[in-house]
Amino acid sequence: MRRSAIAAGLLCLAVALPGVAQQPPQPAVVCGPRTALLEALERQFGEVPRAAGRLQGAPLPLIAELVVAADGSWTLITTDPSGRSCIQIGGAMWTERDAPDAAPAGRGGR
């Protein structure tokens, strides 16, 4: 009886572990004072603020800010009312596009 319980447990582990092992690692959240974070992004990657906007539906009034370097590297940060900013995501190959024509009244607006 004990041997079959051990075998059943090992079988469950064998089935469950491959799914766990395939999970991508979660990046650490990097947060700090906005000015210090922006200074570090400029110093390390040459990224400077390019665009910002207020997030809708967030539990706190958060500002999302995009910082971009000339080589196309970019980072999206959010900043809360206390001035604490957190890196949310980053990437490469950022390109600028011309702004689309304004949508006619009542279409596509918020």
Q: pLDDT of 50-69, one tens digit each?
A: 999 999 887 888 999 999 99
**Which among 42, 34, 50 is positioned nearest to 94, based on CA atoms?**
50
Q: What CA–CA distances, in Å, run from 104 to 97, 100, 107?
A: 20, 12, 6
**Residue boundaries of the structural domains of the chain:** 24-91
Q: Would you say 38 and 69 are in contact if contact means Cβ atoms under 8 Å apart?
A: no
Residues 75-93 pLDDT 10s:
999 999 999 999 999 999 9
Residue 35's φ and ψ, nearest 5 degrees, are: -60, -40
How confident is the model at residue 77, as a pLDDT?
A: 96
Exposure on the CB side of residue 74, measured as CA atoms within 13 A: 14
pTM over 0.85: no
How confident is the model at residue 97, as a pLDDT?
A: 84
